[in-house]
Amino acid sequence: MRNNIDNLDLMDMKLGFEQWATDQGFDLSTIDDLTAYCDHRTFDAWRGYFAAYTDHVAHCSGIQLFAEIKKSSKYAYQAEAAKREGHAYPFQVHIEQDVDGYVVKGGYGGQYRLDDVALFVLGDDDNHIYITK
């Protein structure tokens, strides 16, 4: 057992994650043939995916994904603009395919690349569990 997840459930989660990750172009190579992904972006995405489906996250109907614009992003100015204009920040997002790579949908600008935002879910006590930083 790992965080109240048995091996069969873990493998089911891994398969679901890897289907999504493949569509997003993530590198799925591992050092242990399980979930120790070599690429840090893949590993971070797995950690968030795992947290979203275990008891580390507040239970609700559906997982709510949020984003903050990274200070290093060319869209960083939108964070202050959103707050100043009364928009929700951080903001709720969803992921969908986009031929130009703007797979994160929502927020002030409407769409962002994964490299432009830090993704997280809310855990117990509303703490942020980051998927990517």
Q: What is the pLDDT of residues 59-104, one digit of tens each?
A: 444 578 999 999 999 999 999 999 999 989 999 998 888 889 999 9
- Which of 47-56, 88-97, 124-133 is the least confident region? 47-56
Residues 24 and 2 grouped into a single domain: yes
Does the CA dihedral 62-118-97-37 come out positive or negative? Answer: negative
Nearest to 17 by CA among 41, 35, 33, 39: 35
Q: Same domain, yes or no, for 3 and 35?
A: yes
Number of independent structural domains in the chain: 2
- Give pLDDT, residue 82: 93
Q: Which domain holds residue 81?
A: 60-133
* Cα torsion 47, 65, 120, 126: sign: negative
**Residue 93 shares a structural domain with residue 130:** yes
70 and 89 part of one domain: yes
